[in-house]
Each structure stands twice: as structure tokens, then as C-alpha cells.
Chain A
């Protein structure tokens, strides 16, 4: 978690900018809405800066973002650190040849895809999404990248839902999060 003293003010502002929507998409779920963070220009800027400060000197050549909210945070980070941006998408969206990874949902399964040739073996990657819940989606992303020989250095999210134990599901893969939604 990023809670060093000089970052506290930025983290506090980011946390305050996130809106909670009760009972979406279904009763009992407190949805963490980052769209209000994107409306706060300073907090959005700080979010990106916190990730860039952490990753800029770690020789990362790939930022992989998970559809769709990972597409909002990933590209600004990739541009700032000089890395490629690779979208990881729902099925049948990417037009070229893809590799797929299936993963479990609460009910049923879904699939995540990446373009063949987007990344090379030996590259160092960051995986980014707005939020980690159970960790299922991030695990699928890590699998996709590792299958083609990429080293996933870390997963980065704005928000963690700690009670869903996503961090444990990631096992030995490091996870960096700005805000706990406890």
C-alpha cells in the first residue's frame, strides 16, 4: 500500500474522489466508482503520478491494461514510462490472431484475450486495472503474459477490496494498490 507520509495527502484526495454506489450491479454490492476520480483533474493526475514514480526506473517495457477501466489508467502510465500499452480484452474484440485465457466468475466463466506478437519473451510487464476484488481477472492476465515468456513484475490497481482476498489469490505475484476499500 502506498502510505508514505509525503504521499498521504495525494492518497487521501484520491480516496475521497471515489464514489461508492450501493447495490450495483446487484443487491449487496458496494460498487467502487472511479469515474468521479476521473472528474477530479488533480486526483487523476496524482493517481498516474503515484504509479509512474513507482515504475519509471524498473525497466518495464509493457503495460497491460484490462478492459475496460484498465484502458483508462494504463496508457497514461505507459506513455510516461516509455512502455508499450497492450489491451487485454473480452472475447472477439481484438481483430488479429489472439491467445486466450479462460477464468472463473462467480457464476460461469469468461475469457480474456491478447494479440499474438504484442509482447516478446523476456519483456518485463506491469498489469493494471482499476480494482482488485477476487483476483480472478488479474490471475488470468498474469497467465496470458507468462505463457508467452513475459515476466510480470507487478500488478497495480487503484483500489483493493481486501475482504475478497485477491492478494492471496495472486500468491507470489506482487500487488501495489493505492486505496483500500474497507
Chain B
């Protein structure tokens, strides 16, 4: 669900966040309008507002784990984790985590990829939040949900800054609620 439909309609912070995201056409390949959040990170107020909106939503939900998807989930997850007093758990591409891991495969447009989490990072019964910058098909987030559920954690919600059209209308991913701040902007001209 989008933040504007869930209590934040008309919140000026959302418009500033949306406008701070740069659209880069034809990256990584022709036809893709890439939602670039690095420009949001260059706007300290908009970046802070992004984190604050998530923190306000999650601080009283008894969440003890924030899991962030490599690599852009690493930029949003830790500030949220620190503010709500939760652990931060990185979910990484294969062979990056040095200790014993569990792995979950997921489907790409062509082929498959894998997401890994350290064994022991999360305990059964913990309430968790998964964060990434963007949701498109939901394949990566679904793999992240499976990883956490396999170790007995409860995934309270998946949170993203931007939700692509494929995600629109999806309030849940495999039964897990999905919370998105903004939709992609239309742009009039190309870079």
C-alpha cells in the first residue's frame, strides 16, 4: 500500500521525496526508466524525512530486526534500525557474508540469483521489517521474506521508498504487507 493511502495523503514530505528521486532513462537497458535514489541521499532534509516516516510507522510495532537488501537497502535500513532500537541484518549476494549462511534463490528476467543471510543473526519468534529502496516484481523481497520465515521470524512488513507499476495494487507479497512511500514520477524530458 502507498503511504498516501495510509494516513499520509497530502503530506508535503512525500512530494519532496518523490521530486528528489532522479529518473534515468534506459538504464540498465533500453526501455527501463531507472529510479535513482542517490539524488534523494544528496538532500539531507528529504533523506531524513524518508527515514522519519518509516521510523514513525514502525517504532511501536515491537520490531527487533531490520533486514536490508544489498546494496541500496543498506542505506535506508540502518538509520531505521538505530532509531527503533532494532538489530540490522544485511541480506547479501552470494559469497559476501563470511560466516555460515542460509541461501534463497529467486528468479530474474533471465536466470536466477541468490540472497544470503548469516545463520544465527535472527532468532525464531523475532518480529522483522525488510527494507529495500524499490520494489518492482517483488522477486527479491519474496526471497528475503522466505529467508526470514525459514528461521522462524515473523515478517511484519516490507518497506520500500519507491514502488514500480508492477507493484501497484499489491498490498501484500506472499501474504506479507507491503508499504511504499512514492510512485515513480512521470518525466517530461530525458537526461
Q: Which residues of A contact B (CB under 8 A)?
A: 19, 21, 24-25, 31, 33, 35, 38-41, 44-45, 48, 67-69, 71-76, 78-79, 82-87, 89, 92-96, 115, 118
When chains A and B are docked, how far (Å) is the Cα of A75 from the Cα of B47? 9
When chains A and B are docked, how far (Å) is the Cα of A33 from the Cα of B98? 7
- Does chain A have a CB within 8 A of B102? no
The answer to whether B47 and A85 have CB atoms under 8 Å apart is yes
Q: Taking CB as reference atom, which chain B residue is nearest A65?
A: B75
Given A35-B90, A41-B85, A95-B24, does the pair A75, B75 have CB atoms closer than 8 Å? yes
The answer to whether A85 and B75 have CB atoms under 8 Å apart is yes
**B60: min CB distance to chain A, Å:** 17
Residues of A contacting B74 in the complex (Cβ-Cβ under 8 angstroms): 68-69, 71-72
Q: Taking CB as reference atom, which chain A residue is nearest B42?
A: A84
When chains A and B are docked, how far (Å) is the Cα of A82 from the Cα of B95? 34
When chains A and B are docked, how far (Å) is the Cα of A62 from the Cα of B81? 22
Interface string of B13-51 (1 = CB under 8 A from A): 000000000101001100000101010011110011001
Interface of chain A, main secondary structure: mixed
**A116: min CB distance to chain B, Å:** 11
**A21: min CB distance to chain B, Å:** 4
- Does chain A have a CB within 8 A of B107? no
Q: What is the size, in residues, of chain B's interface with A at 8 Å between Cβ atoms?
A: 39
Supplied contacts A38-B81, A68-B71, A95-B27, 4 more A-B pairs, CB within 8 Å: A33-B99, A67-B71, A87-B38, A87-B71
| Partner of B71 from A39, A83, A93 at Cβ < 8 Å | A93
What are 8 A-B pairs at a CB distance below 8 A? A24-B98, A35-B89, A35-B99, A41-B85, A45-B82, A48-B82, A68-B90, A92-B28
Interface of chain B, main secondary structure: mixed
Residues of A contacting B2 in the complex (Cβ-Cβ under 8 angstroms): none
When chains A and B are docked, how far (Å) is the Cα of A115 from the Cα of B40? 13
Q: Taking CB as reference atom, which chain A residue is nearest B23?
A: A95
The answer to whether A79 and B75 have CB atoms under 8 Å apart is no
Residues of A contacting B51 in the complex (Cβ-Cβ under 8 angstroms): 79
The answer to whether A72 and B90 have CB atoms under 8 Å apart is yes
Residues of B contacting A82 in the complex (Cβ-Cβ under 8 angstroms): 44
Q: Taking CB as reference atom, which chain B residue is nearest A31?
A: B98
Given A35-B121, A93-B71, does the pair A72, B38 have CB atoms closer than 8 Å? no
- Does chain A have a CB within 8 A of B146? no
Given A75-B78, A76-B79, A85-B41, does the pair A95, B34 have CB atoms closer than 8 Å? yes
The answer to whether A79 and B79 have CB atoms under 8 Å apart is yes
For A25, A33, A38, the residue with the greatest tally of chain B CB atoms inside 10 Å of its CB is: A38
Interface string of B69-102 (1 = CB under 8 A from A): 0111011101101100111111010011111000
Q: Taking CB as reference atom, which chain A residue is nearest B97?
A: A35
Residues of B contacting A78 in the complex (Cβ-Cβ under 8 angstroms): 41, 44, 47
Q: Taking CB as reference atom, which chain B residue is nearest A85?
A: B41
